[in-house]
Amino acid sequence: MKELLSRWISAWDQFWFEPADSATLGLLRWFSGGMLLYTHLVWGLALQPFFGPDGWQDHLLVGHALRDTLAPSFWWSIPPSLLGVTHAACLLILLLYWVGLFHRVTPWLAFAITVSYINRVPLANFGLDQINSLLVAYVAVGSLGLPSRDARLTADRAWFRWRQQSALGGTASLPAPQPHVSVRLALRLVQIHLCVIYFGAGLSKLKGLSWWTGDAVWLAIANREYQSQDLTWLAWTPWLINLVSVGTVAWEMTFWLLIWHPRLRWPVLLVGLGMHTGIGLFLGMWTFGLVMEMGYLAFVRPESLLAWGAWFRHLIPGSPSAPTSSEPGDSPSKEITPPLASSDPPAVPLSTLSASTSAASGPGRLQPQPHGST
């Protein structure tokens, strides 16, 4: 029993706190940062109507409605005369976050900005905003204690490399970035949060009769308010509509379980990619579909990303033989497993848990978007 408990504790510690390379976190910051910058640029297209004193959501009314909630926003303290200046300063901070400049500070500032915009106009708060705030919060967690030399895909690391190369005369190789515990923790938090989101979405769908009858997908694609493509021809194939409706609920309800199996992870993610791409293509909610797909990066092992980067560099004519790290000039540390190799270990050490058990027993701003788009 003592040995079994020790193995479980070791597996739990490895799951949450095994140091991880920052390649996945860096790519997640690039994609989520770009989406954050885009969505706040769109806010600026109607800045006064959204955030002005005489806007669509009255300052006093929203403040009164949120007075007993934990919904902070710096917009409550910004005078109307500084509305444009404040918005421009926020866009600058989001740009710095996107490119990875001051990478340990700007994620927290970006999170504060995202939450402040959301809480000031709660009636314009949709799934896109919630996932935006989720991703930037966990990128901020992953950036804690991450030095510039180890922060891949950041302007800070590029600056560090340039200074080191200048000091060394541009001839010496730099050590490969080291893995960090905070990176692993951040990626795990994204993974767990996506599991909770999908499971909650599946449970909420079970409360609707249309999901039980299999008509839910038809009610969505036949609604001209959100219809981007004419899919009314599916009325002649009700079995397909029923299959997609029931399959969506089944996928969301089992995502949290199947995603941890190494052989099922990619099929599960591909189904999710198809679903969210379909939401963008047929219901016009591209931003929501894309930001959900960005969260899937958390399930991609950094070693796979590094291998993909090395493979792509080999495709560039005249490119030198790529090292094992994702950036030229890094000294190789170890051979990288090819992407999607059959020997790819699971993201979660369930094998350890299984072994121990056997031994004991012998996841468009100005136009409204529907809620619950997952």
Gap between the Cα atoms of 148 and 101, Å rounded: 10
For residues 69 and 280, the model is more confident at 280
How far are the Cα atoms of 100, 134, 224, 259 from residue 271, in angstroms, in the given order? 31, 22, 25, 11
Q: What is residue 221's three-state secondary structure?
A: helix
Mean pLDDT to the nearest integer, 186-211: 94
Gap between the Cα atoms of 111 and 115, Å rounded: 6
Q: How confident is the model at residue 171 (pLDDT cuts 50, 70, 90)?
A: low
* pLDDT reading at 326 higher than 70: no
pLDDT at residue number 172: 60
Please, what is the Cα angle at 234 between 289 and 292, to 5 degrees?
10
Q: How confident is the model at residue 102 (pLDDT cuts 50, 70, 90)?
A: very high
Q: Look-up: residue for tokens 């980067």?
A: 309
pLDDT at residue number 317: 67
Q: How confident is the model at residue 33 (pLDDT cuts 50, 70, 90)?
A: very high
Pick from 239-243, 327-331, 353-357: least confident? 353-357
pLDDT at residue number 27: 94
Pick from 38-42, 213-217, 310-314, 348-352: least confident? 348-352
Mean pLDDT to the nearest integer, 26-44: 94
* pLDDT reading at 38 higher than 50: yes
Mean pLDDT to the nearest integer, 120-135: 91
For residues 177 and 366, the model is more confident at 177
The domain spans of the chain are 19-156+175-187
pLDDT at residue number 368: 38
| Spatial CB neighbours of 329, under 8 Å, sequence gap ≥ 6 | 161, 165, 173, 174
Neighbours of 312 (CB within 10 A): 12
* pLDDT reading at 147 higher than 50: yes
pLDDT at residue number 24: 94
Pick from 6-20, 72-86, 241-255, 349-363: least confident? 349-363
Mean pLDDT to the nearest integer, 148-169: 88
pLDDT at residue number 307: 85
* pLDDT reading at 374 higher than 60: no
Mean pLDDT to the nearest integer, 58-79: 82
pLDDT at residue number 153: 92
Q: What is residue 238's three-state secondary structure?
A: helix
Gap between the Cα atoms of 174 and 306, Å rounded: 16
For residues 287 and 67, the model is more confident at 287
For residues 308 and 340, the model is more confident at 308
Mean pLDDT to the nearest integer, 81-110: 95
Q: Look-up: residue for tokens 């009700």?
A: 238
pLDDT at residue number 110: 97
* pLDDT reading at 371 higher than 80: no
* Percent with pLDDT over 90 in the chain: 51
* Percent with pLDDT over 70 in the chain: 83
- Greatest mean pLDDT range, 192-196, 213-217, 322-326: 192-196
Per the confidence metrics, is the pTM higher than 0.75?
yes
Residue 331 and residue 48 in contact, taking contact as beta carbons nearer than 8 Å: no
* pLDDT reading at 283 higher than 90: no
Residue among 97, 38, 44, 90 nearest 287 (CA): 38
Mean pLDDT to the nearest integer, 157-179: 81
